[in-house]
Structure 1
Amino acid sequence: MTTGTSKAGMMMELSHDSTLRELTTDQGVLRYHEAGDGQPLLMLHGSGPGVTGWRNFRGNLARFSEHFRCLVLEFPGFGVSDPADGHPMATATDAVGRFLDGLGLHQVDVIGNSMGGFVGTRFALDNPDRVRRLVTIGGMGRNFYSPGPGEGINLLMEFTENPTRERLVQWLYSMVYDPAMVTEELIEERWAQATEPDTLAAARRMYGKAAFAATAAAAARSEEAPLWAMLHGLRAKTLITWGRDDRVSPVDMSIVPMRTIPDVELHLFPNCGHWVMIEQKAAWESTVLAFLTRKDAA
Structure 2
Amino acid sequence: MEITEEGTSRYARTKNFRIHYHEAGEGHPVVLLHGSGPGATGWNNFRDNIGPLARDHRVIAVDMPGWGRSDTQTDETGRDHIATLVEFLDELGIERAALVGNSMGGVTSISTAIRHPERVSHLVTMGAPCPGPNLFSPGGGLSEGMTVLLEAYRDPSPEGMRRLVQVMCFDQALATEELTETRSRAASERPEHLQGFLGSFGHPSSSITAFFELGSRIAEIGAPTLAIHGRDDRVVHFENSLRLLGLVPDSRLVLLNRCGHWAQLEHAREFNSIVAGFIRDH
**Which ranges of 4 or more aligned residues in structure 1 deviate by more than 3 Å?**
86-91, 161-165
2:118 partner letter: D
Other-structure match for 2:177: 184
Alignment of 1:267-278 (within 5 A): 267-278=254-265
2:163 partner letter: Q
Other-structure match for 1:138: 127
Q: Of 188, 191, 196, which residue of structure 2 is paired with 1:197?
A: 191
Change (3 A) 1:254 1:44: same
Task: Give the 3-state SS of the residue equivalent to 1:240 in structure 2.
Answer: strand
Other-structure match for 1:40: 29
Q: Which has the larger radius of gyration?
A: 1
Task: Give the 3-state SS of the residue equivalent to 1:268 in structure 2.
Answer: strand
Corresponding position: 1:280 with 2:274: no
Q: Of 91, 94, 105, which residue of structure 2 is paired with 1:102?
A: 91
**CA–CA separation in structure 2 for the residues paired with 1:101 and 1:69:** 15
Displacement, 1:198?
Answer: 1.0
**CA–CA separation in structure 1 for the residues paired with 2:250 and 2:76:** 30
Change (3 A) 1:153 1:94: same
1:105 partner letter: I
Change (3 A) 1:163 1:61: closer
Residue-by-residue CA offset, 1:247-297 (whole Å, 9 max, x unaligned)? 0111122222111111110001111100000001111111111111005xx
TM-score by length of 2: 0.90
2:60 partner letter: L
8 Å contact from structure 2 (residues 50, 61) kept in 1: no
Alignment of 1:32-111 (within 5 A): 32-86=21-75, 90-111=79-100
Higher helix share: 1
Displacement, 1:180?
Answer: 1.2
Task: Give the 3-state SS of the residue equivalent to 2:229 in structure 1.
Answer: strand
Other-structure match for 2:146: 153
Aligned residues: 275
Q: Which runs of 5+ in 2 are unaligned?
A: none
8 Å contact from structure 2 (residues 34, 102) kept in 1: yes
Alignment of 1:217-228 (within 5 A): 226-228=213-215
TM-score by length of 1: 0.85
Q: Report which stretch shifted further, 171-180 or 248-257.
A: 248-257
Over the residues paired in the alignment, what is the CA RMSD in angstroms? 2.4
